[in-house]
Structure 1
Amino acid sequence: MSFQSFPDNPVPEGAVEQTVTTADGVKLRAAVWRPAGPRKGTVCVIHGRAESIEKYYEVIGELLGRGFAVASFDWRGQGGSDRRLDNPRKGHVDDFSEFERDLEAFMQQVALPDCPPPFFALAHSTGGLVCLRVARRSRQTFSRMVLVSPLLDFGGFAPSRGVINFTAGAFSLLGLGDAFPPGSRIAQVEERGFKGNPLTSDLRRFERSVAVSKARPDLTIGPPTISWLHAACRAMNEASNPAFAASIRIPTLMIAAGEDKVVSPLAIERFTREMRIGSQIVIPGARHEILMERDPMRGLFWAAFDAFIPGSAE
């Protein structure tokens, strides 16, 4: 098994590793866990950009403790899944429809045949946007979705979406879509200091993520490529049309971080208002990775999750 345990971050017991093959031939790493007792359904843990299954061991354990089976996978271009470019540090797609293929293949080959229904999505950041894109076409994928800090617009650390879209589109037309954006670089793990990081205010969980990267550099990637940014902008542009939000027929809970600088909390609020069966809560003081935040903030998250997902609080 390719999953590695750490003293402060053990692999939850019972992991069954699987390989998913997408419609365009990409191999994805996936895994399933089953709780010891009665099963209340399956929570599909769907990551953000640059993440892997290892980052979610704690969350998986908490879901198992609630009586859910858990299924998860690594997106193409990151974690233990196939990399498209020769440089494995480049997480790259030309269009977000590629991520839709990943999610659909995972559901068809892992979740639906091997896990108990009903199926619930717990998705973070980029994963939240992909879930919304799939949900607008099909009501059958999930019974309910919990989207944490979904990527609906860039936060305060980035230029505006319009500027990024125009610039990335122009570079892509010049044949530079596979390149990193000008001025970006791959930071070494030891350079990623805790102070001022935009992801979490919890030092222990921050250091736990760094430990995974140091032990398993093969799972890590650097900044998004220019094509990835252009694809993300096009996907966010589509989602900004009010008809997009109104087309979602799956009950959805959006959870925003009050201090998010990576994605826009305002865009999340606007999108939720346009949904027919969507609701939103904000975790005050939380940074982008709410599930990796300090315990009081995570407690607020789990209280909302338990109230929204049927059977969770039993």
Structure 2
Amino acid sequence: MNPPAPFHAALADGPDGGRAFWLTASDGVRLRAAVWGPGDLGTVLLFPGRTEYAEKYGRAAADLAARGYATVTVDWRGQGLADRPLADAMTGHVAHFRDYQRDVQALVALAEDLALPQPLYLMAHSMGGCIGLRALMLGLPVRAAVFSAPMWGIRIAPVMRPLAVTLAAASLLVKRGHRYAPGTTATTYVAEAPYQGNVLTTDPEMFGWMKAQVAAVPELALGGPSLGWLHAALTECRALAALPSPATPTLCVLGSAERVVDPAPIRARMARWPGGRLQLVPGAEHEVMMETHAIRAGFFDAAAALYQAHR
């Protein structure tokens, strides 16, 4: 049995009955998962992005519940209330992206242990999209997948890319992989960024909601990525780009104002994904699931339609 874990239900603003559990990955790392139900039509495995945590997806779980789906999500290793590997707990760090697949396995096992409604579907955002693509290639048992601004490439200014790649690789040789990537600090983006000009959402209420969450529970927040994380992420993105797309029916949604991940690899991947479709959302920023009501409704309606078509 997975023991109960702390869960800030009021902060999450999700469906009634939300609960959290501690999970243990196969290498002993402690993770946290949250579950919202019921779901007569199945269960969505929701893979969050870097810096994120279960409570941030309470409203997404409510949108899915309204369409008949239960939701289970996870605090990836190194963020949220999961174990953090470095003395500076605000540093987002992982040694190898394949380690996240241990977290995926623990989450799928929880869904089985709790006998969550079948079938399973995937919904993955940003870094979760990178983890989710690898999981699909490894046989993740889902009927269909929806990606939101997946991190299949990292947006780095062309003039800075060679320096960033060199610094990230060199940091491992001199055992400095724990240091923050250039331009990042221990402060989480949403805590210090003003609404005007932010790269996450065009909805001021949703932006304020995200800001209020990390202000209320600071231990949920995460700062910039480490040089080691950056090297691992770039390595994984290159490796995935060389592999064929899986056969899983897929919808990928990307805002036209995307400024966090690199859109080029997304377009390239979806152009060669059998049974895959790329949907562009005019004016939307990175967090499509945290956008205006109309954009969110369109996203979840499209996701539900795909899931329903592949029951």
TM-score of the pair, normalised by structure 1: 0.91
- Amino acid paired to 1:136: M
Q: Distance in 2 between matches of 1:111 and 1:162?
A: 42
SS in 1 for 2:72: strand
Q: Distance in 2 between matches of 1:94 and 1:85?
A: 11
Q: 2:51 is matched with which residue?
A: 50
Residues 217, 158 of structure 1: CA spacing in aligned structure 2 closer, same or farther, 3 A cutoff? farther
Match of 2:255 among 254, 257, 261: 257
Q: Is the Cα contact below 8 Å between 1:257 and 1:286 reproduced in 2?
A: yes
Q: 1:25 is matched with which residue?
A: 28
Q: Is the Cα contact below 8 Å between 1:202 and 1:293 reproduced in 2?
A: yes
Residues 86, 19 of structure 1: CA spacing in aligned structure 2 closer, same or farther, 3 A cutoff? same
Q: 2:125 is matched with which residue?
A: 124
Q: 1:144 is matched with which residue?
A: 144
Q: Is the Cα contact below 8 Å between 1:165 and 1:234 reproduced in 2?
A: no
Match of 2:294 among 293, 296, 299: 296
Structure 2: where are the runs of 5+ without partners? none
Q: Is the Cα contact below 8 Å between 2:7 and 2:19 reproduced in 1?
A: no
Aligned-residue offset at 1:193: 1.1
Percent identity at matched positions?
33
What do the CA deviations read for 1:70-112 (whole angstroms, capped 9, x no partner)?
A: 111100011111111111111210110111111111112x112
Residues 311, 17 of structure 1: CA spacing in aligned structure 2 closer, same or farther, 3 A cutoff? farther
Aligned-residue offset at 1:311: 6.7
Q: Distance in 1 between matches of 2:133 and 2:17?
A: 30
Structure 1: where are the runs of 5+ without partners? none
TM-score of the pair, normalised by structure 2: 0.92
Q: Distance in 2 between matches of 1:90 and 1:66?
A: 37
Aligned-residue offset at 1:116: 1.6
Q: Distance in 2 between matches of 1:72 and 1:158?
A: 34
Match of 1:4 among 1, 8, 17: 8
Q: 2:65 is matched with which residue?
A: 64
Q: Distance in 2 between matches of 1:290 and 1:171?
A: 34
- Amino acid paired to 2:54: I
Aligned-residue offset at 1:119: 0.3
Aligned-residue offset at 1:34: 1.9
Compute the RMSD of aligned alpha carbons: 2.1
Residues 50, 152 of structure 1: CA spacing in aligned structure 2 closer, same or farther, 3 A cutoff? same
Q: Distance in 1 between matches of 2:83 and 2:125?
A: 21
SS in 2 for 1:235: helix
Q: 1:13 is matched with which residue?
A: 16
Number of aligned positions between the proteins: 305
Aligned-residue offset at 1:141: 2.0
Aligned-residue offset at 1:179: 0.8
Aligned-residue offset at 1:15: 1.6
Q: Is the Cα contact below 8 Å between 1:157 and 1:261 reproduced in 2?
A: no
